[in-house]
Amino acid sequence: MRLAFDFLLFTLTTTTSALTMRPVRPVHPAHLPLTSAYLTSLPPLPPDFTLSLAPMMEYTDRHFRHLCRLISPEMELWSEMVTANAIVNTKENEDYQRRFLQQSPLENPTILQLGGSDPSSLALACKIAVTSQSWSGNWNGINLNCGCPSDKVSLKGCFGARLMESPKLVGECIAAMSEAIEDTPHNIPEISVKCRIGVDDNDSYSDLTNFIDSVTAVSPVKTFQIHARKAVLDGTFSPVDNRTIPPLKYSFVYDLCRDYPGLNFHLNGGVMSLTSVYDIFEESNEKLKGVMVGRSIVSQPWYWSNLDYVLFGKYPENGVDTRGDLVMKYAEHAEEEEAVEGVKARRRLIRPLVNLFNGEDGGKRWRQKCDEIMQSAGSKRKGYAEDSKDYRSLTDLLREALTVMSEEAVERSRFDTFELMLLKEKIIREEGVEGGGGGIDKVARQAKAVWEAERRERERIMKENDYGNEDEALQNTS
């Protein structure tokens, strides 16, 4: 049964669910905002279910991963795809190793994704990744990319999604990679495969099962992350086209869960909200082991700050309750990195923060302030030059950047922000708002007004009735 959006928004006190086999989450602490209390109606997902950050070139570097870890202690993080040949050929290049293999101390669990099609190179890359440097032995898993549709990868490199045409070779690669790390002192649980549901005209369910059968026949692989679109590799589609035009076929992944009970499947593609994660899990008959999210986390990272509570019933206790907290915590990481790499690193350090206030009044000004810091890195402009007596730290610059946003936006809790997002989604759906610009801005203002009115009313009832906490008030106002 599909989990209705209205059930999420309006069933405020129900503690039962169609998913009766899962325990009800604990009641939320009284100090949390009243308007987030309706989240208690949803039972947590199973402890072995995973919400993963999808690997994205130029995005999921260690700085963005650090930001995501501050946002969510539960999210499984993935590296950018790193080619096996690049690791092998630059194993003595400390700058390259630091750029692509270093992890921040907070990151784990993190998965390293490799690209390549030569078993020996992939095997050596695995060994280098887990043993060569003090910073690169903490990966929780290694993944072989069999899903990237980029021309550079699939045509010139003959790997990525192109590998789905050679499933036996994929199995040989996995076997070699697994053997390479089995004698290392580092605990890598397994090698997994990320793929599409098909390529070009080889896009039937039987084509997909043939791929799974062939790979598992010659390798120990047990886990597949599947982007539920086919890849078009004839040169007519760009990478963006391949992410959006081929239709999503979630049913293929659900059927794999049914037909291969001994394997683990994670679904990727088109997942844009926390509520949809519940829908997908239910539609798979609760057999999916995880869901992977990419562009949505990049475009609206703070929205996903609620995943620990909404999906798993856990409360992050890392001191990051607002976006102001997040920026200042991230600034500590940025300062440490800049101390090693210098001001030139500011572009990569600030980029993860650019979309933090998307959808808020002043969000454009925030992006401009971030861009100003990135563009001026290493320049002779006053306050930025590394050797200037007027040099300003990233902490100071980010604290100043926060002043372009309203205090309410900076200090609003993650739970209240999530409810605002749900209200926006409801208004967009009911009123048929399309596109961006003024229409979306109007929706944001309308949602804010509804949210503030509801909050004032609940606070009034609490005060008039002298309720001891928000749960008591909620039970008497539903």
The span from the CA of 173 to the CA of 107, in Å, is 27
Packing angle of the helix pair 363-375, 394-402 (nearest 10 deg) = 160
Strand partners, 266: 225, 290
Q: State the residue for tokens 């006190």.
A: 13
Please state whether beta strands 77-83 and 110-115 pair in parallel, antiparallel, or not at all (unpaired): parallel
Tally of CB atoms within 10 A around 82: 22
Per the listing, tokens 């749900």 go with 422
First to last CA, the chain: 25
Angle between helices 250-259 and 205-217 (to 10 degrees): 50
Residues belonging to the active site: 148
Q: Looking up tokens 């001994």, which residue turns up?
A: 262
Q: Find where tokens 């059927």 sit.
A: 255
